[in-house]
Structures are given as C-alpha cells and as structure tokens.
Amino acid sequence: MRALVTFLAARLARALVAVWLVSTVVFVVMRLSGDPVPLLLPPDAPRSEFARVARELGTDRPLPVQYAVFLGHVAQGDFGRSIHFREPAMRVALEYLPATAQLGLTAFVFAVLVAVPAGVVSAVRRNTVVDQVAMGVALVGQSAPTFFLGILFILTLSLRAGLLPTSGRGDWTHIVLPALTLGAFAMASIARLTRSALLEVLRQDYVRTARAKGLREWRVVAKHAFRNAAIPVLTITGLQFGQLFSNTLVTETVFAWPGMGRLAIQSIYNRDYPVVQCVVFLSAVLFVALNFLIELVYGFLDPRIRPR
Amino acid sequence: MASSIPVSVPADAAGLEAARGGRVARRTRQLVAAGAAFVALLTIMAVAAPWLAPHDPVRQSLRARLTAPTLEAADGRAHPLGTDHLGRDVLSRTIWGARVSLLVGFAAVMVGGLVGAGLGILAGYRGGWTDTIIMTMADAQLAFPFILLAIGIIAVLGPSFPTLVVVIGLSGWVDYARVLRSQVLVLRSREFVDAILALGGAVPRIVARHILPNVLSTLVVIATLQLARAIVLEATLSFLGLGIQPPTPSWGGMIQEGREYLDSAWWISIFPGCLLLLTSLVVSRSGDWLRDLLDPTLRSE
C-alpha cells in the first residue's frame, strides 16, 4: 500500500511538472511572438491608447511579474478573451470539447473492437494468408500519415463509392470515416501487439498442459492464453488512447469535424492566440490527466507494476 | 557488434537459435540493404531534381489546368502524373517535393540526435542532479502530445525552415536521450572505464573514444526510426499550412492543394501522398530491421 502511494505521488508530481512546463513554454512563445498590443488596435490609434492597452494587458510590467501573473491566470483557467469570438478563450475551447471527445472515444472503441480479434486470429492462425494480410494491413496502418489516410478514405469510400459523407458532423454516418482514420494507428499497433503477446503466451508450458488435457483449442486460447496476454495489450491500449487524441487535430481538419483540434488550426489562421494557447494548454492537461488515470488503473489491475 | 550488452541465453537453445538466426539475419541484412537503396534513390532524386524533373515545378500553364495523367496535354507537353489547378506538372513537383521532405527530415534528425545524444550521455555519465533534471524534462515531454505544442510554437513564430527543423528535431530528442543514458550507465560501470580513469584518462576523451563508438549502432537505429517520423511530421505540418510555404513544392502542401479537387483531379493529392506513404513505410521498416540486426536488446515488442 505504501509503495502504491509513493508510486502515485511520483506520477502525480511528474504530471504537474509536465503541465507547468507546458504553461511556461506557452508563456515564452507568447513573449517571443512580440508585442500583442498592435494586434488589438488600429495602426493609427493615438499613443495614449497604446499605453492604456499595454497597462490593461500588463505588458508594461517586468517579465518576471508578467510570468507570475500569467501562471496565476492559468491556474484559474483564464487565458484572456478570444479576439475572433469575443468571448473568454476557455469558454470557446470548452464548447468544442464534446465533439472531440465523441470522435476520440468512438475511434478508440472502434480500434479496440477490430484490433483485438484481428490480433487473436492472426496469432492462432499464424503464418496463414489471414495472418499475413492482417499484419500487412497493420504495418501500412502504422506508418501511414493520418491526414493522407483520411484523404484516401474520402476518395475511395466517399467520393467514388458514395457510401459515406465526406465531412461535417451530423448523423452516425458522419463519424465513420473520421473515426476510422483517427483509430487506424491505434488499431494497427494494438493488433500487432495482441498477436505477439498471444504468440508469446501460446509457447508457455501451461498452454501445452491445457492442450494435453484435451481441452478444445478455443478454450485454450480464450481461457488460458488470452487472459495472460491481456496485460501487455492493456498497457499499450492505454498509451494509444492518449496518443490518439493528439491526432484529432489533423483528423478534424481533414473531415471538417467541429472539434477542438480544428478550432486550434482555425484560430492559428485567425491569429487568435488566446484560443490557441488555451487549446494547447487544455489538451496537455487532459492528456496528462488521462495518462495518470490509466496508470492508476494499472496500479490496481496488475500488482507487478506497482513497485518501482 | 561492440554495443551488445551480454544477454544470457540457455545453453541448449543457443545452438539451435544460432542456426535459425543465421538465416534470419541474412534475410534481414538484405531487407536493410533494400531499404537503404530506396533512401539512396530518393536522395539522388532530390539532389538531381533540376535535371530529372521534366518541367519547372512552379511554372503555371493555364491552358493545361487539371489535366489528367497524359503524354500529350493541351499545352503540347507530357504530364505523366497530370497537372494541378494552376497547370503545374505533378511529376516535377513530386520530384522537387522530395527535397523538402529529405532536407527537413535529415536536418531534424541531426538536431534531435545531437541534443538527445548529448543530454543522454551527459545524464548517464554525470548521474546525480544532472541526470534527475534531464530525465524529468524527458518524462515531462513524453507526458503530453508534443505535436500540439509544436503547432502552437510554429503558429506564433511563423513557419520557416529553421523553425521547422528545430521544432521537429526537438520533438524527438527524448528517444535518443533515454536509450543512450541507459547504455552509458552500463558502460560506465565496466572495468575498462575505471582502468582508463586510473591511468589518467580525461572524461571527454573516454566519451569520445570509448563510449560513443559503443553506442553508435544504437544511435543509427533510433535515427532511422526518427527519420520516418520527421518526414511524416513535416508533411503533416505542411498539410496544415504550417510547414514549407507555397510555391515551394512539398508533398504535404501538394496533398493539401489537391484536396479541393479530389473528386475531379485525384492525381494532385494521391501521387505525392503515395510516395510519402511508401517513404514512411520503407524507412520505418528499415529502422525495425536494422534494430533486429544491430541491437536485439532494443526490441520493444
């Protein structure tokens, strides 16, 4: 129990350091980008106006003070007002969060539902055509750039075959292609890992014993082998879940999915930096929190992971 | 290989494994050679682009806009891979695009490798506080998606070649640092390092003469895997409009430009995209094969 608490405390500390580093980089980059005041005022505004806005934004104070004030605001989730939406940046970002969460979760569930059975079949039917095709597809899926995969899906399944809509968010058909694109990498990784983990277990003595006892093959695989192969699969699956969210940015842009990633890219084009910073920060916090939760779950699931 | 850390293999299995290992190793060597040949060809294509490309990659030809792959277009020229919305030759642009991909890719790998290897060796050799700080930074970077921050940085600083190289390079330093640190830790505890120190050897010399050659094969493996990642990242950023700016042809930029015409002129996006996909696949697989060949202890799966 003590070991578990130490383990979690160390992980929590690491998560907090990561969030602090992200906000510091956001601050440094913001300062590097130059004076924000001219962005907010017409070029012919009087000097007194410039001074007033600078005082309002705090850019007339020394850098360390600005940094402290910035950290204070970040802690309260205050990133200033969006220049484009004329609303607090945080509120804008949070409005777009549900669409991203929906896409990410769908893609993840989809990836797991396809990848785990595919990996199991590949391992059980090792070196057959099924195995080779599945692993070939997985290899391509693992190295294909997400955005190009999306373009390929749009061209083949949507424009040519006319099966699914190309973009936007509407009924369930709209989410199929983005979810497939976003989940492809996770799907490929999980399928390959499931296969290798299961192959490893199928070599063990207790599997030979189970077979020698005359158990049916599917029972050997399902009861004796798969359960033991599940732990490394679960580990990778958890890591993939976090990784998947960093790809929403590209996927949402390709499919015009109205989520946080697309908001970030559009805010970059609009030079709406408060929103960009807010989205970067919010994603980092969510990602770190997610990873922390996953590690927490492992701590309880697998006692071997706990110490360290 | 000098880098191999002793691995214990059960005695009876060793002979059998070695016989099978010989065949597998030969095949892996052939695959690595094929991968290297592909990269060499691509590099030659990029370097020789001005002579290889049939047309000027930025020359527009309004009469031959959105021409399907043909050998005799409206402007009387051959466009084997078609033309884009401005009548520019897709084949020439794809050939020129290899320049951006490889240049940014190799430069980013150099930046990431120098920073990562330097910090990794430093952390492993010095230990103590130096080690703690460097590894905390590495952990922190792995704890959130760096690509997001990279996009934020490029958005604010504006896209330029140096910014791209530094950002893409730094996004990969952790891999080098972690692996090199652990290898240096093992090497440092070996007697030969103590012996050199006792004989009055200087630390930088030990690192340069004895540690670096020992971790070189590991470095090559990571650099290959990172090259694939850097090329895809550059293409992704160019696709988002945050990479190399038009009219300079880049694969990611071409895919983006062709997106609007996907229905009527698929060739604008698909040809550079397929080459990008092939490059990413071949380079990352070569990294895997190289790892199996040079350093089986690195195998993660």
Return the minimum-mean-pLDDT range out of A19-23, A87-91, B6-10, B67-71: B6-10
Q: Is A241 exposed, middle or buried (0-12, 13-18, 19+ CB in 10 A)?
A: buried
- Write out the E strands in A105-205: none
What's chain B's Rg over C-alpha atoms?
23
- pLDDT given for residue B17 in this prediction: 57
Measured between CA atoms, how close is A118 to chain B, in angstroms?
Answer: 17
Please, what is the end-to-end C-alpha distance for chain A in angstroms?
A: 13
Distance CA B53, CA B55 (A): 6
Residues of chain A with Cβ-Cβ distance to B253 below 8 Å are none
pLDDT at B250 over 80: yes
- pLDDT given for residue B143 in this prediction: 66
Measured between CA atoms, how close is A50 to chain B, in angstroms?
Answer: 21
Give the helix, strand, coil percentages of chain B, each rounded to 5.
75, 0, 25
Q: Which helix (H) or strand (E) holds A45?
A: none
| pLDDT per residue as tens digits for the range B135-149 | 888 877 776 667 777
- pLDDT given for residue A97 in this prediction: 92
B153 touching A, CB under 8 A?
yes
Per-residue pLDDT of chain A (308 residues; tens, 9 = 90+): 677 778 778 778 877 888 888 788 878 877 776 666 776 677 777 878 778 877 777 777 788 888 888 888 888 888 888 878 888 989 999 999 999 999 999 999 999 999 999 999 999 888 899 999 999 999 998 889 999 999 999 998 888 777 888 777 878 888 889 999 999 999 999 999 999 889 988 888 888 888 888 888 888 888 788 887 887 787 778 777 777 877 888 899 999 999 998 998 888 888 787 888 888 888 888 887 877 777 777 766 665 555 44
User: Is the separation of the CB atoms in A71 and A23 below 8 Å?
Assistant: yes
Domains of chain A: 101-268 (1.10.3720.10)
A276–B140 C-beta distance less than 8 A: no
Side-chain-side CA neighbours of residue A113 (13 Å):
8
Distance CA A117, CA A176 (A): 19
Residues of chain B with Cβ-Cβ distance to A280 below 8 Å are 148-149, 151-152
* Average pLDDT of the residues in B66-83: 78
pLDDT band at B299 (very low <50, low <70, confident <90, very high): low
Report the b/e string of B222-237 with b at 16+ CB within 10 A. bbbbbbbbbbbbbbbb
Inter-CA distances, B52 with A174, B39, B288, Å: 43, 17, 31
- pLDDT given for residue B282 in this prediction: 94
* Average pLDDT of the residues in B40-55: 90
- pLDDT given for residue B300 in this prediction: 47
Q: Is the pTM of this model over 0.80?
A: yes
Measured between CA atoms, how close is A219 to chain B, in angstroms?
Answer: 26
> What residues form DSSP beta bridges with A85?
none
Helices (H), B171-243: 173-188, 191-198, 203-206, 212-239
Distance CA B117, CA B219 (A): 8
User: Is the separation of the CB atoms in B122 and B298 below 8 Å?
Assistant: no
B262–A283 C-beta distance less than 8 A: no
Q: Which of B17, B134, B156, B242 to mutate to test the interface with A (most CBs of A within 10 A)?
A: B156
Helices (H) and strands (E) in chain A, counts: 14, 0
For A29, name the nearest residue in chain B, comparing CA atoms only.
B153
The 3-state secondary structure of A52-101 reads: HHHHHHCCCCCHHHHHHHHHHHHHCCCCCECCCCCCEHHHHHHHHHHHHH
pLDDT band at B21 (very low <50, low <70, confident <90, very high): low
Distance CA A140, CA B281 (A): 7
pLDDT band at B8 (very low <50, low <70, confident <90, very high): very low
* Average pLDDT of the residues in B3-26: 56
User: Is the separation of the CB atoms in B55 and B95 below 8 Å?
Assistant: no
User: Which has more pLDDT, B104 or A302?
Assistant: B104
Nearest CB to A30: which of B156, B240, B269? B156
Residues of chain B with Cβ-Cβ distance to A159 below 8 Å are 262-263
* Average pLDDT of the residues in B60-65: 79
**What dihedral do alpha carbons A281, A284, A285, A289 form, nearest 10°?**
180
pLDDT at B298 over 60: no
What would the two tokens of residue B240 be?
């988002």
B232 touching A, CB under 8 A?
yes
- Write out the E strands in A180-265: none
| 3-class DSSP state of B127 | coil
pLDDT at B205 over 50: yes
User: Which has more pLDDT, B207 or A189?
Assistant: A189
User: Is the separation of the CB atoms in B268 and B258 below 8 Å?
Assistant: yes
B240–A243 C-beta distance less than 8 A: no
User: Is the separation of the CB atoms in A241 and A101 below 8 Å?
Assistant: no
